[in-house]
Each structure stands twice: as structure tokens, then as C-alpha cells.
Structure 1
Amino acid sequence: MATVLAEKVSTGESSDGKSGTWGGSRAFALLLVMTGAAGVLAAWVITLDKFTLLEDPNFIPGCSLNPVVSCGNIMKSEQASVFGFPNPMLGLVAYGGVVCVGMGLLAGARHRRWFWLGLNAGTLFGVGFCTWLQYQSLYNINSLCLWCCLAWVATIVMFCYVTAHNIEHRILPAPAGFRAALGEFHWAPPVLWIGVIGMLVLTRWWDFWTS
């Protein structure tokens, strides 16, 4: 299957993973590097603004553009420090780790099943946490943060393609028909997912956008 997900990067890798290790295509590795870097950028900017806000309660972040797109409202909320410290500090570590994985794949790294399952579990946690934050932003905090939106998109794309990679290489079990369809239309899940979030944002503040 000649898709972005089906390319093998090392000699000796069989389609069913009999070698016990799996690599990834160059495109997949670059995707991990780019989405991880986008997440690091978003987390870094939010962290700096959060520290500035702690020093100066009157500070207005540059991404606070109007009552809806207001990063300051997000940073001041309880949801912004779920684990007792600013959420983006967790992102700095997690997204940085993804960049390292992508760079390793570009260098020809191959990993065992437990590694790929662990990466999938980590991205699942990340996308679940982002989904909770999306709900909080839309329906409880009633504000959006552009940098948060960048992190959401990066995490969704990351999760979808890590999962697709694992299904393609049979690290995760799936019917052959589903595996073939996913290989052909690997772009569909993240596009539809992000599209749904866009529609929710649009309808949530429809009156504001159209006024």
C-alpha cells in the first residue's frame, strides 16, 4: 500500500512485524516533528504569558483579541492548572518528547510494540485532555485561546496518524478492509474531527461572529 503510512524505513522489516520492531516513513516522522514542534511553540508562548500574568494581574496577552478570543480568560481559569501547575508546562515535556520520537525515526530508529503502544496511549491521553479543555473553553470559560487551538489541532493530527501507523503495521488489530480504507483515506479522520470542532466554535458564538 503506497501511502504516507505504508513506507518502510529500514531493511529487514516485514509487513507483519516479524522482526519485532517497526520504523516509520519519512513523511510520518516529519509529521511527528511538525506537530510536536507546533505543540511546543504553543505551550512555550502560553507558559511565558502565564508567568507574566502571575507577575502582573493586569497583563493582557497578545492573543486576547476580543471577548471571545481571549487567552487571558483561559489562563486565569481553574481549568488552566488542572494538575496544580500550568497545563502548558506538561505540554512542553509531552510535545518535546514527540519531536524526539520523530527525529529518531528520521535517523532510522525502530521500536518494539510496547513503545508504539505507549506512544499511542500517550497521544490518546493528550487528545482526551484536549477534548475536555475544548468543552471547558466553549461552554464553561466561554473564551478561546488561539495558541490552545494550535495545540488542539496538533494533538488531533498526531493521535490520528500514530493510531493509523499502528493499525497499518498491525501493532493494533483491525480488519483488513478497515486497514485498507484507513491507508487510502488516512487524511479523513483528522479533517472531519477538526471540522466538527470548527463547527462547534462557529455555532457556539454565531451571534458574535455575525454581528
Structure 2
Amino acid sequence: MRRAGSGPALAVLLVLTGAAGLLASWVITIDEFKLLKNPAFVPGCSLNPVVSCGSVMKSAQASVFGFPNPMLGLVAYAAVICVGMSLLAGAEFAGWYWLTFGAGCLFGIGFVSWLQFQSLYRINALCLWCCLAWAATILLFWYVTSFVVRAGFLPAPGPVKNFLAEFTWVLPVLHIGVVGMLILTRWWDFWTS
């Protein structure tokens, strides 16, 4: 079976997005423990009624799998860093590995999208550390998907491969831009008052 490594750009991107997600997960986990010890604890990133990490942490959506979501992030983002460091060291992975890694990124973007919806329209508050994890996951998903398609592990027509070879950056920029616009329009009255 064919194996493939990546260039240093993707490897560094994996390390950086993994580190950003790991940092966000770590800070949120510490604040979760503080909140368990003291229900009156107010996280440092609770700045106003909209940017209110405490409101997000106290929601049912913050423990959707029966444990705090950031604990999942501690494991997942650490794995992303390991893959990135392995690629920097010259590792090459089989197609099944890349497809599995891509599937993990697909789960991540799906979960993040669900959390974004919940945060904007059900919890009615934002967590800045969550936003950092969202941005890291969006970048991670689009660049890993682009690599898997361009490497031929995921079939795609030639024009799609050509687009991804030249313009992958457009997809995460658009994705983050759409999320930013949703946030802006959701709290337009708050931001402009």
C-alpha cells in the first residue's frame, strides 16, 4: 500500500493547530475543576453577558458525552500534535492512516459545528477559549482534507485537486468568516449598543 508524508507546511500547521486546541482545552479543563470546587467561581474569560465562559461551562452541552468536552480535546489535539511532529521527523503514513486521521478531523468539524450552533442559539453565550478551539479545528479539517484529496487517498475530480493545490486557504477563510458573521449578526444589538 502506498504511503505518504507531507511537506513541512502541513506538519507545522498540525503542530500549531494542535497546540492551540490543546491550550484551549487545558484552560477550560482547569476552569471546569475550579467550578466544581466552587460553584460561584467566575472564569477569567467571562467578560460580559455574551462572552461568558461560565455560562457555556455550566450548560448541558458542555458535557455531551458524560464528561467535560475539553477532556476530549486534551486527547484529540495531543494526537494532532503527535502526527505533526511525526511528519516533521519524516514519517510517512499509509492511506488507511490518512483516511482515519481525516475521519477524525471530520468528526471534529462536525462536533465543533454543533457546539457553535448550541453556543449561538441555545446557550446564548460565547467562550473565547472555545472560539480558539473552533478556529484550530476549522483550519485542521480543511488542510487535512485537502492533503488527503491531493495525495489521492480520497478520490476527487482533477479540477477539485487543482483547486485544492492552489486555493486550499480559501476554504478555512470562508468557513471562519461565515462563523464570524453568524456571531456578529446573532449579537448585533449587543455589539452596537
Structure-1 separation of matches of 2:95 and 2:161: 18
Alignment of 1:46-195 (within 5 A): 46-195=28-177
How many angstroms does 1:182 deviate by? Answer: 1.4
Task: Give the letter for the 2:16 counterpart.
Answer: M
State the Cα distance separating 1:119 from its structure 2 match: 0.3
Partner letter of residue 6 of structure 2? G
In 2, distance between residues paired with 1:137 and 1:182? 31
Q: Cα deviations across residues 112-157 of structure 1 (Å, max 9, x unaligned)?
A: 0110000000000001000000000000000000000000000010
The alpha-carbon deviation at position 23 of structure 1 amounts to 0.2
CA distance in 2, matches of 1:42, 1:120: 22
Superposition misfits of 4+ residues, deviation over 6 angstroms: none
* Matched AA of 2:43: P
CA distances 1:140-197 after superposition (whole Å, capped 9, x unpaired):
0000000000000000100000000011111111111111011111100000000000
TM-score when scaled to structure 1?
A: 0.91
Residue of structure 1 in register with 2:3 after alignment: 21
**What is the TM-score normalised by the length of structure 2?**
0.99
**Bigger Rg over Cα:** 1
Instruction: Tell me, in whole angstroms, the C-alpha distance in 2 between the residues paired with 1:210 and 1:193.
Output: 24
Of the candidates 12, 15, 25, which is equivalent to residue 30 of structure 1?
12
Gaps of 5+ in 2: none
SS at match of 2:72: helix
> Which whole-Å CA distance do the structure 2 matches of 1:175 and 1:127 have between them?
23
Percentage of pairs with the same residue: 66
Which residue type is aligned with residue 50 of structure 1? E
- Which segments of 5 or more consecutive residues in structure 1 lack a partner in the other structure? 1-18
> 1:122 is paired with a residue of what secondary structure?
helix
Q: Aligned partners of 2:111, 2:159: CA distance in 1, in Å?
A: 30
SS at match of 2:147: helix
What's the CA shift for 1:73? 0.1
CA distance in 1, matches of 2:151, 2:99: 12
- Cα RMSD of the aligned pairs, angstroms, is 0.6
Measured in 2, the distance between the counterparts of 1:103 and 1:192 equals: 28
Alignment partners' CA distance in 2, 1:108 and 1:89: 29
